[in-house]
Amino acid sequence: METVEQLQREYDDLHAQATRLAGGLTDLAQRAMVYHHIFEASGRNHIFPLIAAHGALWARGYFAFGMRLGAALAWQFPLSAAKRRRHLDQLAEFANAFRNVNRLVCIDTYTHFHFTERWGHHPEATRFVAPELLAALDEMHAARREGRELSDERKRRVFESHFFDEQQHVVGPRINDALTALEWPLVKAAALKPLIRFAYFPARTYFWFQHFDRREERITRGLQAFDIAASVGWDQVEAALRNYAVLPIAFFDSSTTHFAQLREAVLSAT
């Protein structure tokens, strides 16, 4: 049986692959394709990365809007170019902190998926993946190997386990740090109340956060995003990725082939 040291090398190798595939801070479309690959490789049982792909593509437009808004609001300091520049630099750093959260979640999702795919039943696997998340991913992998699609109820359990884990270990601490560093009250107030509408949401459906820094509200909205997706249908949720007009046509022609080419190009680059 493989030793803990061997498992560590496997985990580290997958993490290094994931880090390269996740790209840089602004490579949101690339991350969306990585997320979709995981959804597809799971036998369409792992819903977290599918919804995360929507989050990445939605965020691309949100960040662009936020920077335009910041440029307009900076004129509340008409007599100080230095103050305007300082606040705009803070806003750029804040946006990059959020982009980095998306990047780190993508790295975690890819690493945990492929590690548990191979080593999920190893008695030392909980050294690398939290026990509750490991159990959920093991159930998902078992269904995939047997050619089964999980019920929506079981898919939700996998989603919850992954979502809660990311909120606790990746998302929450970094969002709080980013908000603490943003010393522009007007922009901070706006950042705490984002209006989110993913492409698969029915007409006139959106999330308007009141306190984005509160973990409880993020979790509530995340579970609602799953429930809306389940009611719409997974095929429609997947097809709605096209509506952002960001991913290349070749991706929709054959997502599996396109990701394989992307993976080869990224991992073979020196």
Q: What is the DSSP string of 11-80?
A: HHHHHHHHHHHH-STT-HHHHHHHHHHHHHHTTS--HHHHHHHHHHHHHHHHHHHHHHHHHHHGGG-TT-
- 230 token code pair: 């389940």
255 — pLDDT class (breaks 50, 70, 90): very high
Residues 6 or more apart in contact with residue 106 via CB below 8 angstroms = 18, 21, 22, 31, 34, 35, 52, 56
Amino acid 193: pLDDT: 81
For residue 214, the one-letter residue type is R
Q: Each residue of 133-177: pLDDT tens digit?
A: 999 999 999 999 999 999 999 999 999 999 999 988 888 888 888
Q: What is the mean pLDDT of residues 235-254?
A: 95
Q: What is the mean pLDDT of residues 211-226?
A: 91
Q: How far apart are CA 56 and CA 164, in angstroms?
A: 18
| CB-count burial class (<10 Å; 0-12, 13-18, 19+) for 238 | buried
Q: What is the mean pLDDT of residues 3-21?
A: 96
Q: Is 207 helix (H, G, I), strand (E, B) or coil?
A: strand
Amino acid 170: pLDDT: 85
Residues 240 and 199: beta-carbon distance below 8 Å:
yes
Q: What phi, psi does 115 have (nearest 5°)?
A: -65, -50
- 94 token code pair: 């804040």
Max CA separation in the chain (angstroms): 69
For residue 195, the one-letter residue type is L
**Closest to 143 measured CA to CA, from 208, 47, 265:** 47
pTM of the model: 0.90
- 19 token code pair: 């880090």
| CB-count burial class (<10 Å; 0-12, 13-18, 19+) for 120 | buried
Residues present in the chain in total: 270
Out of 75-79, 145-149, 210-214, 262-266, pick the least confident.
75-79
Pick the more confident residue, 188 or 164: 164
Q: Each residue of 16-38: pLDDT tens digit?
A: 999 999 999 889 999 999 999 99
For residue 121, the one-letter residue type is H
Amino acid 63: pLDDT: 64
Q: Each residue of 57-79: pLDDT tens digit?
A: 988 776 665 566 666 666 566 75
Q: Each residue of 78-127: pLDDT tens digit?
A: 756 776 777 677 777 777 888 888 899 999 999 999 999 999 999 999 99
49 — pLDDT class (breaks 50, 70, 90): very high
